[in-house]
Amino acid sequence: MPKKLNLTPYLFLAPALLVIGVFILYPILAVIYYSFTEYDIVTAPVWIGLKNYQQLWNDEVFWLALRNSFVYLLVTPILIVLCILLAIAVNRKLPGINAFRAIYYVPVISGSIAVGYAWRMLFDTNGLINGALLSLGLIKESIQWLAEPALTLPIAMALTIWLGLGYYMMIFLAGLQNIPEELYDAALIDGCNGIQKHWYVSVPGLRPQITFVAVISALAALEVFNEIYTLTGGLGGILNSGVTMVFYLWKQAFKLQHAGYASAIAMALLVITLLFSIVNIRSLERGTEQE
């Protein structure tokens, strides 16, 4: 009997695929096209060949943005280490431990815009940080934290880490709770001390979570915007010190109306995220195979 094509699965898929097609797949194709044009969104795009890419190659701000985005990736290993330690700390039966977990989670749900502006107040010349450091005698006069090019990126990265702590901690905590207790008992019998036991049991046991957090937090780092926007008041910092790939994309497309040029930046960003995700997943998978 010839098999009749069953339409049911396709009907179930249709609405979601339509949305993803229109708002993700089509935009990728459109951005590829726009990147070869001069386009201000209002008037029709004009084909200019490779000009945008040539301009990109000679654009110092673009290279700075690229460099800044790569520097920003440092948040990923820091988050992994801090959050595993934090998860180990809260993975014990103490009275009130749930309250602590909940408190650590508050920044995650508060949202990066609100929290970003709160941090901007803290680091204001007249903010709490200067007040505290002055009264402790650690500094002689107020520091202009957010007007110091060398500090823009580190402060934004600290904010990203602070925002992510609770979220990634919870992921690692869930992972820890899946590790069978017997493995820890065996490690103790083998003579492991408290720290060794985590190194030999917890860390290998958390491999899937580490892969997940590495990929997710690296993507988030490459796509960072809100932290830079709030801390620099939407300007990108003195001397573009806080300008990342996405910030530059946004500025070119929506502040300067250079949508064609911004599309070329978007293509560069896409290639980088692609390469990075492949390398990230590959290397972490290889790590698992060696187990």
Partner 1 sequence: MTAAQTPAVAARRRNRQRHIAETLFWYVLLLFIAAITILPLAWTLLTSLKGPHDAIFSVPPQLLPQDPTLDNYARVWKQLPVGNFFLNSIVVAIATTTLNVLLTALAAYPFAKMKFRGRDTIFYLLLATFIVPPQLTYIPGFVLARNVFQYYDTLVALVFPNLATVFNIFLLRQAFRGVPNDLIDAAKMDGASELRIWWQILLPVIRPSLATAAIITFVTSWNDFLWPSLMLPTMTNKTLPVGLAALQGMFASDLRATAAGIVMTIIPILILFIILQRQFVRGMTGAVKG
Q: Which residues, other chains included, contact 112 with Cβ-Cβ below 8 Å and sequence gap of 6+?
A: 159, 163, 226, 227, 230
Question: 3-state class of 42 per DSSP?
Answer: coil
| Among 270, 279, 285, 287, contact with partner 1 (rule: CB under 8 A) | 270
Residue 38 token pair: 């001069």
Which member of 90, 186, 238, 284 binds partner 1 (CB under 8 A)?
A: 90
Give 59-77 as a DSSP string: -HHHHHHHHHHHHHTTHHH
Which of the stretches 47-55, 147-155, 182-190, 224-232 binds partner 1 when contact is defined by CB under 8 A? 224-232
Q: Positive or negative CA dihedral for 229, 231, 235, 241?
A: negative
Q: Residue for token digits 């910092």?
A: 237
232 binds partner 1 (CB under 8 A): no
| CA 245 – CA 256 distance, rounded (Å) | 15
Instruction: Give, as ranges, the residues between 153 and 182 that touch partner 1 (CB under 8 A).
Output: 162, 165-167, 170-171, 173-175
123 to 142, contacts with partner 1 by CB under 8 A?
A: 124, 126-128, 130-132, 134-135
Residue 111 beta carbon to partner 1: minimum distance, rounded to whole angstroms: 4
Q: Which stretch binds partner 1 (CB under 8 A): 55-63, 144-152, 183-191, 248-256?
A: 248-256
Cα–Cα distance, 119 to 112 (Å, whole number): 10
Candidates 157, 124, 149, 121; CA nearest to 235 is 149
Instruction: Examine residue 102 and tell whether it contacts partner 1 (CB under 8 A).
Output: yes
Among 197, 212, 235, 238, which residue sits at the site for partner 1 (rule: CB under 8 A)? Answer: 212
53 interacts with partner 1 by CB under 8 A: no
109 binding partner 1? (CB under 8 A):
yes
Q: Which residues pair with 47 in a beta bridge?
A: 37
Applying CB under 8 A, does 274 fall inside the site for partner 1? yes
Q: Is 94 in the site for partner 1 (CB under 8 A)?
A: yes
The beta strand positions in 128-270, using DSSP E, are none
Q: Which is nearer to partner 1, 51 or 142 (CB)?
A: 142
Decide whether 138 or 150 has the Cβ nearer to partner 1. Answer: 138
CA gap 242, 63 in Å, rounded: 13
Q: Which of 101, 143, 183, 235 binds partner 1 (CB under 8 A)?
A: 101
Asked whether 66 and 268 are in contact (CB, 8 A), the reply is yes
**Contact between 62 and 56 (Cβ < 8 Å):** yes
CA–centroid distance for 48 within its chain: 33
Among 2, 4, 9, 289, binds partner 1 (CB under 8 A): 9
Is position 149 an interface residue for partner 1 (rule: CB under 8 A)? Answer: no
86 touches partner 1 (CB under 8 A):
yes
Residues between 12 and 51 with contacts to partner 1, criterion CB under 8 A: 12-13, 15-17, 19-20, 22-28, 30-31, 34, 41
